[in-house]
């Protein structure tokens, strides 16, 4: 049993918020009965659901791995008219959503899907899915400051969770450095704020890995479907995390 607005959104009717409005307007019927309360539980496999008298068809789940370029918004629309990630998709009929966010000026690996349950598990820090970033920063951090990044940095919204950090290379004569950070949280502009906090602002930032998934073979702006083997492995690892942490 799932919430009605979630089923409608997954069927591509509209966004979940818009689907809640359709329900409150009395435009949705379940098994011949008009439903006006969002949150009503339905069985999408058995219940007959109509919107404005037309039956919905549940979309097949889609899982996409996108190499997001800079200058693109991780959203489905932008009031300022800037490009959004779904503008990069061609031939994808299903209504997919980004899993987490990458800033406008951040590039790299981004998943998009219409599988809300899987998306929530990937994005939630309790499942400890590695999010690996490479950041060019100003100057050359000392080993002590790199260690601070790994052990936790005090930000305005609290101490960051422990992760991993290492210095990959420097540009002679020490004008900038390439750091690799592995985190599990998803705070707003987290990596940028962490680097700023240790005195080495980010010049450019890229997410290079999510769990075991990488950008291999994808240029900026390109995407591909996850393979069945990748999806099965992702589900296994999420299930293992859920058992380990009681999720």
Q: Tens of pLDDT along 210-226?
A: 999 999 999 999 999 99
Q: At a CB cut-off of 8 Å and minimum separation 6, what does 35 contact? A: 4, 23, 28, 29
Structure tokens at 95: 């209504």
pLDDT of residue 117: 81
d(CA 246, CA 87): 38
CB-hemisphere CA count at 13 Å for 140? 8
The residues pairing with 55 across neighbouring beta strands, listed in sequence order, are 50
The verdict on 201 and 217 lying in the same domain is no
Q: How many domains does the chain have?
A: 3
Residue 23's domain comprises: 2-55
pLDDT of residue 73: 96
The verdict on 179 and 206 lying in the same domain is yes
pLDDT of residue 126: 79
Look-up: residue for tokens 């098994």?
A: 31
The verdict on 120 and 218 lying in the same domain is yes
pLDDT of residue 115: 85
Q: Phi and psi at residue 17, in whole multiples of 5°? A: -65, -45
The verdict on 23 and 74 lying in the same domain is no
The verdict on 135 and 199 lying in the same domain is yes
Q: Which of 47, 87, 103, 130 is catalytic?
A: 103
Structure tokens at 113: 């899907």
Helix 116-123 with 228-245: angle, nearest 10 deg: 60
Q: What is the full per-residue pLDDT of the chain (247 aa) written as tens digits?
A: 888 998 888 787 888 889 999 999 999 999 999 999 988 999 887 889 999 999 987 778 899 999 999 999 999 889 999 999 999 999 898 888 899 899 999 999 999 998 878 888 888 877 878 999 999 999 999 999 999 999 999 999 999 999 999 999 999 888 999 999 999 988 899 999 999 999 999 999 999 999 999 999 999 999 999 999 999 999 998 888 766 655 5
pLDDT of residue 2: 86
The verdict on 200 and 231 lying in the same domain is no
The verdict on 70 and 115 lying in the same domain is yes
Q: Tens of pLDDT along 26-47?
A: 999 999 999 999 889 998 878 8
The answer to whether 181 and 149 have CB atoms below 8 angstroms apart is yes
Q: Tens of pLDDT along 61-87?
A: 899 999 999 999 999 889 999 999 999
pTM of the model: 0.80
pLDDT of residue 243: 63
CA 192, 156, 149, 239 dihedral sign is negative
52 is catalytic: no
Burial of 39 (0-12, 13-18, 19+ CB in 10 A): exposed
């Amino acid at each position: 049993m799932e919430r009605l607005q979630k089923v409608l959104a997954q069927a591509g009717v509209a966004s979940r918020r818009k689907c809640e409005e359709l329900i409150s307007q009395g435009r949705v019927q379940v098994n011949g009965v008009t439903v006006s309360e969002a949150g009503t539980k339905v069985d999408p496999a058995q219940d007959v659901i109509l919107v404005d008298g037309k039956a919905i068809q549940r979309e097949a789940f889609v899982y996409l791995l996108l190499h997001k370029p800079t200058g693109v918004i991780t959203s489905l629309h932008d009031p300022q008219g800037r490009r959004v990630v779904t503008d990069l998709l061609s031939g994808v009929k299903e209504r997919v959503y980004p899993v987490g966010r990458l800033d406008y000026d951040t590039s790299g690996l981004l998943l998009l899907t219409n599988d809300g349950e899987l998306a929530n598990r990937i994005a939630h820090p309790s499942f400890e899915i590695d999010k690996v970033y490479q950041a060019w920063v100003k100057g050359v951090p000392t080993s002590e400051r790199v260690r601070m990044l790994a052990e936790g940095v005090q930000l305005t919204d609290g101490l960051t969770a422990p992760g991993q950090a290492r210095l990959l290379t420097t540009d002679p004569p020490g004008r900038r450095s390439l750091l690799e950070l592995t985190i599990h949280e998803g705070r707003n502009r987290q990596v940028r704020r962490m680097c700023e906090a240790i005195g080495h602002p980010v010049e450019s930032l890229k997410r290079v890995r999510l769990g075991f998934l990488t950008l291999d073979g994808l240029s900026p702006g390109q995407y591909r479907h996850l393979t069945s083997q990748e999806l099965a492995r992702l589900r296994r690892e999420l299930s293992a995390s859920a058992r380990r942490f009681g999720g």
